[in-house]
Every structure is written in C-alpha cells, then in structure tokens.
Amino acid sequence: MSLLLVPGFMADETLWADLEAPLAPFGPLHYADLRHDGSIEAMARRALEAAPPSFLLVGFSMGGYVAREIARLAPERVRALVLIATSTRPDTPALRQRKGAIGNAAPSIAFSGLSRIAVASSLHPKERNNEALIERVRAMGMRLGGEVFRRQSMLERPGDLDRLREIRCPTLVVAAAQDQLRSIEEARELQAGIPGATLEVVEDSGHMIPIEAPQRLAAIIVPWLARYQGP
C-alpha cells in the first residue's frame, strides 16, 4: 500500500515532515504537486498521473478539495480518505473580491512570502508568537514563490456539497477545535454529506494541524488508516 499526501495553500511536502515516521508503515509516501495548475480538477488529475495504482489519500485544507476530486475521478484507486481542516463550502463573495484584487495587483508586486500576521492568524492563539512555527510556514511559501502564490490565490474553490455523496470510500474528517479558518460546522457538513464518514476533533490546535499538533493528529489517523491498509 502507498499513501498520497495533498498539501494546502502555499504548502509543500515539508508540511508532513512530522508525520512521516508514524505514516511510514503504510508504505511509500507520495506528495501531490499543486504548484502548476489553476483549477482543483487539474491539480487532481496531475496528482493521479503521478500516484501509484492504489493508495490511501490524505488532504489538508485546500488539498481537501483536491483530494475529494481525486476520489471522484478515480474511486477504484482510493482505498480510504482523510480530510484535515477543510470544507465543502465555495468561496465567499468577499474572498472572490480579494482574489480579484490579488490578480490585478500581483504581477507588479514582488512576492515577499506570506505575511507574519496572516500566518499567525491561522495558528492557535497560544502559538501566535511562536517564531519558529511562523517561519516554518512562511518558508514553505517562499520556496513555492510568487507565481504559485498568484496561481493559488486566484484558484476557484467551488462548493461540492451536492457532490459529496459521490465519495464512496471510507472517509475520516479531522477538524481543529480552535481553527479560525475552518469551523467545526464545516467539518460536520463534510461528515454529513459523505456516506459513512466519521469526524474527529483535535483539541488545542489551530488550522495548521500537521505542524501544530502532529502527534495528536497521528494518534487519530494512524489507527484509522490501519483498518484499510490491506495487503
């Protein structure tokens, strides 16, 4: 068995660094590359082209949208699905307006990475002065660069509430109790919409669960994935 990990907005494979050891027993770890494409579907198709024939699938935040599309495009290849700190909701009008402003302004503005304030706001309140954590998130963005920032900032995230029932693989939804970007209610919408899905909540963590609370996240997803590892 193999495991395909799908990162979130302006995150790269180092998002999963603290989970590599606990996930290693599931076989080779593969990392979806979201740098090149301008739509959720295109990202999903690229990930599938590079993925093994059969795999366990984990998507974080924006990567949760991509992971669900992967599960719909190739249901016979996805053994089980984990959705972390994500949503089924479409972009809000305010977010679409902000994206438009970024699209109009970005070509003339040099990219200097995600702002410290923006990164801190995604973390648990107790971590908002954790410079090491903030710089780890900012470093992912700097490695990806300005073109990826513009592309991902302009990406449309269509709501897929009416398509959740198409996902037929076993699904675990994981939310953070103190997530300021994605609410528990959004996680419950995913659980209710995907047939048979279960929901687990990570306490004392903000949005960036894989780097804020990797041990607690592993304690939830490792035993759950083990049920579906197969031969």
231 within a domain of the structure (yes/no): no
Query: Do 8 and 63 fall within a single domain?
Result: yes
User: Do 79 and 13 reside in the same domain of the chain?
Assistant: yes
Q: What is the pLDDT of residues 4-39, one digit of tens each?
A: 999 999 999 999 999 999 999 998 999 999 999 999
Both tokens assigned to 169: 């693989």
87 and 165 in a single domain? The answer is: yes
Domain containing residue 130: 93-151
**230 pLDDT band (50/70/90 cuts)?**
confident
Q: Has residue 167 been placed in a domain?
A: yes
Compute the distance between CA of residue 194 and CA of residue 192 in angstroms, rounded to an integer.
6
Instruction: State whether 137 and 164 are in the same domain.
Output: no
SS (HEC) of 19-65:
HHHHHHHHCCEEECCCCCCCCHHHHHHHHHHHCCCCEEEEEECHHHH
Residues 117 and 206 in one domain: no
